[in-house]
Amino acid sequence: MALPPASSLPSKPYPAQWEEVADLRVFRTTAHEWEKLIGWRADMRKRGWKLLRVASEGSEMVAIFGRTKSERAAASGTA
C-alpha cells in the first residue's frame, strides 16, 4: 500500500491556534516503530513536552508533542 502524495497530507496536523500558545513538534513514524519508542516518549515528557495527539495517516503514525510558551520561558529562567 502506497502513501498518498505529500500534497494531499495536511502540512500541519493540528489546529493553527495551537501555534499561538505552544511550541509544537510533529513526529511521524510507523506504528511498529512508535511502539519501540517508549523510552524516547518518556524522555520527551521529562523535558516538559506533553503528548497532545496521536493519529494515523495511512500507514504512518503522527504524534504531536507540545509545551506552552510560558512553560518554556519559565524553564529557561526568562519569565
- Position with higher pLDDT, 66 vs 5: 66
Output the pLDDT for position 44: 93
pLDDT digits (tens, 9 = 90+) for 50-61: 999 999 888 899
Strand ranges of the sheet holding 60-68, from the earlier edge strand across to the other edge: 22-30, 60-68, 50-57
> What is the phi/psi pair of residue 66, to 5°?
-150, 155
pLDDT digits (tens, 9 = 90+) for 2-30: 445 544 555 788 998 999 999 999 999 99
Q: Give the sign of the dihedral formed by CA 12, CA 53, CA 68, CA 36.
A: negative
Output the pLDDT for position 3: 47
pTM of this structure: 0.70
Output the pLDDT for position 2: 46
